[in-house]
Amino acid sequence: MEKLRLGVLSVSNHFIKRVVLPVKELDNVEITAIASRHLSKATDAARRFGIKQAYGSYQALLNDKSIDAVYIPLPNHMHTEWTKKAADAGKHILCEKPMCMDADEARELVEYCQKRNVVLMEAFMYKHHPQWIKVRDIIRTNNIGSVQYINTSFSYNNPSASNIRNIKEYGGGGLRDIGCYAISVPRFLLDREPNRVISLLNEHPDFGTDVLTSAILDFGNARATFNVSTCASSFQVVDIVASAGRICVHLPFNTYADVPAKITVETALGLRVIEIPPVDQYGLMVNDFANLIINNEPPSADEDDAICNQKVLDAVLRSSQSQSWETVS
């Protein structure tokens, strides 16, 4: 296999806005098909972006034996159904985060794909960006001492009642959409799981989705905190404070692809700003996904990572109901 032949389930705004163009620049991937429940929508996207085949149903695309893998940017509540159907069709799967609605579902899905011998990757694109590799290397090599706390702030303002992120039964809400990053980051940097969590959650009076969620994650000798909101000004930052220094990731998640990324590092020697040359993290993610399949390379993150992240997310939701600490099982 010289190129991974990729099909896309859904003409989503996320795919069009952030994914299609960087993937078309890759040497090891070809987007060969796109599907929508409305054929005209798939046909229009195929024409605009030079995709060979358009399908009027997701299953029709999965029935195409020439396709090696699929990218699933569907609403959260549809991930499990279509990941299983893709696995049944023998397709490798890159699924948008969060991969499932709860940890039991995530565990079931991982095992389902393993039994069918297909690769399953959760699409946390930030892990593939060199700025995050640099941050983790600084921590791992003890350049700022032992991490004491990590704080993540992430927000945007989305008042639209018809937007899928504001529909509760679709898996909408700030915690699943952006809180999953705030949970993933400290796990990624500390390379371990929190023991327990405590949280507060505010719901929208009409949508019923969480619009402001705050939490403390207890990692024993370190803590992580976060505030995520879908009713606040667009803002995002991650601060890592350690015993001998600190790091600030200024644009941690929606990192621009056409300007350098910047992280600030401060130690006893002084403060420095590190610039990372422009890269497209979505292209890097799909490139790494393709290499897993083409070169039979080991995953950059174990499939169990999706289960573990969901366990923490579930505990945050439980804590918002119990109003007390909840153990991460």
Catalytically annotated residues: 97
Instruction: Determine contact, residues 124/184, Cβ cutoff 8 Å.
Output: yes
Could you give the CA distance from residue 189 to residue 241 in angstroms, rounded to a whole number? 12
Q: What is the 3-state secondary structure (H, E, C) of the chain?
A: CCCEEEEEECCCHHHHHHHHHHHHCCCCEEEEEEECCCHHHHHHHHHHHCCCEEECCHHHHHCCCCCCEEEECCCHHHHHHHHHHHHHCCCEEEEECCCCCCHHHHHHHHHHHHHCCCCEEEECHHHHCHHHHHHHHHHHCCCCCCEEEEEEEEEEECCCCCCHHHCHHHCCCHHHHHHHHHHHHHHHHHCCCCCEEEEEEEECCCCCCEEEEEEEEECCCCEEEEEEECEEEEEEEEEEEECCEEEEECCCCCCCCCCCEEEEEEECCEEEEEEECCCCHHHHHHHHHHHHHHCCCCCCCCCHHHHHHHHHHHHHHHHHHHCCCEECC
The answer to whether the Cα torsion of 252, 256, 257, 262 is positive or negative is negative
The answer to whether the Cα torsion of 316, 318, 324, 326 is positive or negative is negative
Q: Which amino acid is at 291?
A: N
Q: What phi, psi does 72 have (nearest 5°)?
A: -115, 100
